[in-house]
């Protein structure tokens, strides 16, 4: 089970039991973003898009990433 990024975050966590979580040393590329969506498919985790916020206002992130 994976938790990837979030508000102001690009971190990647995994857990096999929901209680103990392991943080990866790697981060999701691109700016911190919310509203990304992840899907498990073909033995990989796919991460799509997201919404960024900063001094310039809200923006959309168009990157698609696969973790395998």
Partner 1 sequence: MYDPLVVGVWPACRDDQWPIATPVLVHGNRFVMIGDGADPQPIYESLDGARWRATRTDADWGTRYKSADASFAGALWRVGGLEPRGEQRSYFNDVWRSSDGTSWHRVIAVTLWLPRAGAHLISFRDSLWLVGGEPNDGHVWSTRDGVTWVPHRDTGLPSASPQAVVVFNGALWVLGHGAGRRQRMTYGPRQMAPIGDECCLQRRGRLGPVRASGSPEAECG
Residue 10 near residue 32 (C-beta atoms within 8 A): yes
* Under rule CB under 8 A, residue 13 binds partner 1: yes
Q: How many CB atoms lie within 10 A of CB 60?
A: 10
52 binds partner 1 (CB under 8 A): no
Choose, by CB under 8 A, the member of 55, 56, 57, 62 that binds partner 1. 62
Q: Tell me how far apart the alpha carbons of residues 47 and 64 are, in angstroms, rounded to a whole number.
A: 6
> Which residue carries 């039991």 as its tokens?
17
| Residue in 19, 54, 55, 57 binding partner 1, rule: CB under 8 A | 19
Residues near partner 1 (CB under 8 A) are 1, 3, 6-7, 12-16, 18-29, 35, 37, 39-41, 45-51, 60, 62-68
């Amino acid at each position: 089970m994976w938790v990837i990024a979030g508000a102001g975050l690009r971190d990647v966590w995994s857990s096999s039991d929901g209680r103990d979580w392991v943080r990866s040393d790697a981060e999701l590329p691109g700016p911190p973003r919310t509203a990304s969506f992840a899907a498990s498919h073909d033995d990989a985790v796919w991460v799509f898009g997201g919404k960024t916020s900063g001094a310039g206002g809200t923006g959309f992130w168009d990157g698609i990433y696969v973790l395998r």
